[in-house]
Amino acid sequence: MRRLKLLIASLLLGQMAFAGGMVTNTNQSAAYVRMLARDASTDVDAVFYNPAGLTKLADGFYVQLNNQTVSQERTIVNGSSLLQNNTFTGDVFVPFLPSVFAVYKTGDWAFSGGFTIVGGGGSAKYDTGLPSFEIGTKMALGSLTSDLNDGFAGLAPLGVDVGDEFQANVNMNFEGTSVYMGYQFGASYAINDMVSVYLGARYVSIKNTYDGMINPNYHMQVNDEFVTPEDGFATITGTLYGFGTQFENGGDAMQPLVDNAPATATLDQLLAGGAISQAEYTAITAPLTAVGVPNAGGLTSAQAQGTYYGTSAAFNSQGDAATATGEQVVGATGVKNVDVEQTGSGIAPIIGANIALMDDRLNIGAKYEFKTKMNITNKTIKDDTGMFPDKQEYAADMPAFLSLGADYKTSESFKVSLGFHYYWDKSADYGKNGHESDGSYKRGDNSDFIDANSYEIALGLQYDINEKIGLSGGYLYASTGPALTYQNDLSYSLSSNTFAFGGVGHVSEKFDIDLGFLYTAYSPSSKEINYGFETITETYDKSNWIASVGFTYKFGSSSE
């Protein structure tokens, strides 16, 4: 019997990034959400975007708190004829996605730290499961049904016809959460008025969870009726054990004949000599003939009795085997539950530089984050599928990441910002390489799954209405390069266009409020999937919006 499995092709819900590369979240401040180009920032959110630029702050201690509310809809359309519905929707809603930044600036030095959800951060819920769940289940059920039809074909003459069709109204749901928490620390130093540098690191801690259920509601075909496996095998085993009892009773009933008839006399001879009647002869030989005993009349009474007992034992043995098979089928077609937690961690060094030109009207920022090499390990609470062995490891790297930015003040009230991000996706390992025969993870890179590294280009504009209020907007184009082997219904990456707007309020010399909103429209991606019996097209799409608020407070003197 083939075992039913939840066909989860990829387990990395950390790739549920909201704004950024295939894994990395770059939406880390309300100022970013309202503007999108923060890579040359010299404000407090530069802790994440341009840490070398923190030396441009006035001396003092700064704290910034940001929160984002995120909504994302993920849609998969699969054209398979096996599906009850061809469209599957996953909803992600994150009411709280916080980030915290702190900076202590003194003289030429700036010491900074930050907490961010640098990857994932949400919960994806599929109330009707995913195409791979349902199709994989029904393909397994079809193979199971075929095996049952072949295995019990010999029962048809006995009055039990196991058909080659089945019914399955698959009921399922799946929810996964993923959080990559980043803890960043570092120091910035101003070499002179123009150039400053940064050295730091980020510790990343991962926690993924998977909670799913699948109920095939499988009905097998027995005697032209669709019945549950329990009822179907009750019919099968009842028939087999029934014949076992019947032949055992038949053997017992022959005991007087065996005791009184000549030992060498055949049943034919006993009939001819009048020792048994025609009715008695038929009652003895007909059941033996029905189960394939040739020339039953040529057996002696003792041989006939032995054949009865042997046939009874054979039917009972077949009944035992059918009972065991039934238990396997009931187990394989019953409700499957998964409850798994995955954890891991890693560290990424970070370096940066900032260059201020034209009396600070032009500011250029650069930051490079090294690859965060990480493994995650299963903690399996419940797994009826066998897909999540306890303590098994997978790779879950975050790629190396370069950001370049420029801010140019065309006037005292208007600023133009540009940003560029590049992610070395191909050099990381997102956990798709599989395991060795001993179960250990086979580490590698993404070269078989990524055709091109991801990049982003951003434009941001800010206009200060007065000294208290500034309005901003932005546009960001993101290009990702997954190969078709990467894309599947649980984990896929799409190029996108993002539009943002918002504003900043300078409540006082020490206190600022940022408000931002962005909307991302993704470019759908499609691939052909060959299931053997049909080739279909599966299409992936999604959209999301983010609303954010940020509060920045400076402690100490507000003077320069």
Report the alpha-carbon distance of residue 404 to residue 35 in Å, rounded: 15
Contact 366, 403 (CB under 8 A): yes
Q: Is this structure's pTM higher than 0.75?
A: yes
Report the alpha-carbon distance of residue 16 to residue 115 in Å, rounded: 19
Lowest mean pLDDT among 232-246, 382-396, 407-421, 448-462: 382-396
Average pLDDT, the chain: 91
Domain ranges of the chain: 13-216+334-555, 222-329
509-538, pLDDT tens digit by residue?
A: 999 999 999 999 999 999 999 988 899 999
How does residue 118 score in pLDDT terms, banded at 50, 70 and 90? very high
Cβ-count burial 244-276 (b if 16+ within 10 Å, e if not):
beebbebbeebeebbeebeeeebbebbbeeebb
> Could you tell me which CATH number the domain at 13-216+334-555 has?
2.40.160.60
Query: Bridge partners of 458?
Result: 419, 476
Residue 72 carries which side chain, given as an amino acid letter? Q
Q: Pull the structure tokens for residue 493.
A: 């990456």
Report the alpha-carbon distance of residue 395 to residue 357 in Å, rounded: 43
Report the alpha-carbon distance of residue 99 to residue 77 in Å, rounded: 35
| pLDDT mean over 318-325 | 96
Of 277, 288, 196, 194, nearest to 250 by C-alpha is: 288
What is the predicted pLDDT for the residue at 8? 37
Q: Which residue has the tokens 């009826």?
A: 384
Q: Which residue has the tokens 């066909």?
A: 7
What is the predicted pLDDT for the residue at 248? 96
DSSP state of 4: P
pLDDT > 90? residue 470: yes
Q: Pull the structure tokens for residue 30.
A: 């309300």
Q: Strand (E) positions, 10-157?
A: 60-78, 87-106, 109-126
Cβ-count burial 87-107 (b if 16+ within 10 Å, e if not):
ebebebebeebebebbbbbee
pLDDT > 60? residue 159: yes
7-64, pLDDT tens digit by residue?
A: 333 334 444 556 677 889 999 999 999 999 999 999 999 999 999 999 999 999 999 9
